Structure 1
């Protein structure tokens, strides 16, 4: 939970522990007020504070400057590791193919997500492919993407995949793709897609 200037609430179970992490060596003041809740108060608080799912951000780094290629016949599951310095899930991977949505969004079945991508170090030729799992047919969602520009937001279902395509601007330089996903709740995903004109 990222601390913000406004008042924030957290509910804890008995024996839970609370830790604060500050950065940049600066001194900060944290005012902590602890109140014990009855079961009724805890239920009332929970009903008034709907859980929020934060977007997840992934980064794939091509250390050798290898181009991203869609390779639609091939499956690809990069191994991501959490980088606490950036708050991103990072993979150093030169693989190609279709990344299944289940490798990026660990949501329950039938819960899709919105996705957007950005390339950095590209030749301003980035593409995002939305791929059907069964037929491996794809739609190029946006083409071409300017370097360091986020793509338009696309919807992918629980059994879709995405494929990446971009070449490095300079041979041998780093080429990076950032992927950001946000959960779409089943009760509102069609309404939100309708309002967005998708």
Structure 2
């Protein structure tokens, strides 16, 4: 895991990044700025249990491509999840919390993931581990209203104007952050190649 100092606020931005693209950079930039983060861990996963591994580029390649486009020094590209032997977010977040008791974390996800978030293993546990910042993505703006996660944790929604305080709230707590959106997607980029 990247080095952190006591009391820091850190965003956790996980994904396959297959391939990483400027839309990922935009989400990271919005999260850094709107949440007032000290760091953002760009967590390149070994694989996604909900997605086919048929077209998954090698982990080292996805890390190198991520490092090439993530030029903010506060972004730490990492693949520590592989060394943990984890492929499920809930377990990874438990390990992160165990090893970093005095750090304030926020899980960051694109709004396009809200639609299927309730299919993730232990999704309610994820929502109760760290606060969540959902960043707007094209075609997914309304998903925060209709998703099972949004309905289940409606009581824990924090107004976007208070996003900078999200890391200081006890989970469950989440917010939806509107902002510039990139039409890029890894799926579309793979289809072009």
Query: TM-score, normalised to structure 2's length?
Result: 0.26
Greater helix fraction, Structure 1 or Structure 2: 2
Greater strand fraction, Structure 1 or Structure 2: 1
Query: TM-score, normalised to structure 1's length?
Result: 0.26
Larger Rg: 1
